[in-house]
Amino acid sequence: MINIGCHLSISKGFEAIGKESLSIGANTFQFFTRNPRGGSAKEINKEDINAFLNLKEKYNFKKIVAHAPYTMNLCSVKESVADFSSRVMLEDLKRMEHVPGNLYNFHPGSHTGQGTKIGIEKIAKALNNILWPDMSTEVLLETMTGKGSEIGGKFEEIREIIDEIELKDKIGVCLDTCHVYDAGYDIVNNLDKVIKEFDDIIGLSRLKAIHLNDSKNTLGSKKDRHEKIGKGNIGTDAIRTIVNRKEFSNLPFILETPQENINGYKNEIDMIKGYFLGELK
Ligand code: FE
Ligand code: FE
Ligand code: ZN
Summarised one tens digit per residue, pLDDT across range 230-253 is 999 999 999 999 999 999 999 999
Cα–Cα dist 220/212, whole Å: 17
- Of 182, 104, 186, the C-alpha closest to 150 is 182
Q: Are 29 and 14 in contact (CB under 8 A)?
A: no
Q: Give the count of beta carbons closer than 10 Å to the beta carbon of residue 12.
A: 12
Q: H or E segment at 207?
A: strand 207-212
- Of 90, 79, 149, 80, the C-alpha closest to 120 is 149
Q: What is the DSSP letter of 41?
A: P
CA of 9 to the centre of ligand 3 (A): 17
CA of 231 to the centre of ligand 3 (A): 16
User: How do strand 171-176 and strand 138-142 relate by DSSP bridges?
Assistant: parallel
Q: What is the DSSP letter of 141?
A: E
- Of 189, 220, 208, the C-alpha closest to 66 is 208
Cα–Cα dist 271/281, whole Å: 19
Is the pLDDT at 281 greater than 60, yes or no?
no
Within 13 Å and on the Cβ side, how many CA atoms surround 55? 22
**Residues 214-243, mean pLDDT to the nearest whole number:** 98
Question: Does pTM surpass 0.85?
Answer: yes
CA of 179 to the centre of ligand 3 (A): 6
DSSP per-residue codes, 63-125: --EEE--TT--TT-SSHHHHHHHHHHHHHHHHHHTTS-S-EEEE--EE-TTS-HHHHHHHHHH
- For all residues of the chain together, what is the average pLDDT? 96
Give tens-digit pLDDT for 69-119: 999 999 999 999 999 999 999 999 999 999 999 999 999 999 999 999 999
User: Catalytic: which of 150, 211, 227, 268?
Assistant: 211
Known catalytic membership, residue 179: yes
User: Catalytic: which of 20, 92, 142, 150?
Assistant: 142
Q: How confident is the model at residue 1 (pLDDT cuts 50, 70, 90)?
A: confident
In this predicted structure, what is the pLDDT of residue 8? 97
In this predicted structure, what is the pLDDT of residue 279? 63
254 alpha carbon, closest ligand:
2
Give tens-digit pLDDT for 17-42: 999 999 999 999 999 999 877 778 88
Domains parsed from the chain with CATH numbers: 4-275 (3.20.20.150)
CA of 67 to the centre of ligand 2 (A): 9
CA 257 to chain centre: 13
CA of 279 to the centre of ligand 1 (A): 29
User: Catalytic: which of 176, 214, 227, 268?
Assistant: 176
Measured N-to-C along each axis, helices 155-164 and 191-201 cross at an angle, to the nearest 10 degrees, of 20
Cα–Cα dist 139/136, whole Å: 10
Residue type present at position 76: S
Largest CA distance in the chain: 50
Burial class (CB within 10 angstroms; exposed 0-12, middle 13-18, buried 19+) of 98? middle
In this predicted structure, what is the pLDDT of residue 43? 84
Q: How confident is the model at residue 62 (pLDDT cuts 50, 70, 90)?
A: very high
